């Protein structure tokens, strides 16, 4: 995470963490590790990118997290790709 970016509002981060609870255990485990490492460093751009990823179905999200697919269309955005890489490495 780039320390020069504006840190997001703690309430937005808390809501995002709650929203990240998924139906698939594998996704939940990845998000738990991600939030444990990065939650307090998330910028507004990171929160926006993560929100876009969380709009996906569990299976589509898992395909991205496990590198079965790469982001396409609206998700092929630098912020989304950067957050996705952090999730993959969490």
pLDDT in tens, 47-77: 999 999 999 999 999 999 999 999 999 999 9
Sequence-ordered list of residues with C-beta below 8 angstroms from that of 74, at least 6 positions apart, any chain: 52
Chain-centroid distance, C-alpha 19 = 11
Instruction: Map out the domains of the chain with their CATH numbers.
Output: 10-89 (1.10.150.250)
Q: How confident is the model at residue 72, as a pLDDT?
A: 96
pTM: 0.77
Q: E-strand spans in 1-90?
A: none
Q: Of 63, 61, 90, which is closest to residue 1 (Cα–Cα)?
A: 90
**In this structure, what token pair is assigned to residue 27?**
């996704």
What is the Cα–Cα distance from 52 to 75, expressed in whole angstroms?
A: 8
Query: How high is the mean pLDDT of the chain?
Result: 86
d(CA 10, CA 23): 24
């Amino acid at each position: 995470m780039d320390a020069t970016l504006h840190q997001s509002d703690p309430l937005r981060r808390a809501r995002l963490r709650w929203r990240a609870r998924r139906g698939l255990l594998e996704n939940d485990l990845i998000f738990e590790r991600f939030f444990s490492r990065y939650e307090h460093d998330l910028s507004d751009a990171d929160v926006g990118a993560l929100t876009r990823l969380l709009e996906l179905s569990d299976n589509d999200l898992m395909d991205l997290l496990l590198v079965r697919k790469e982001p396409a269309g609206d998700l092929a955005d630098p912020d989304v790709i950067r957050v996705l890489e952090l999730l993959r490495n969490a």
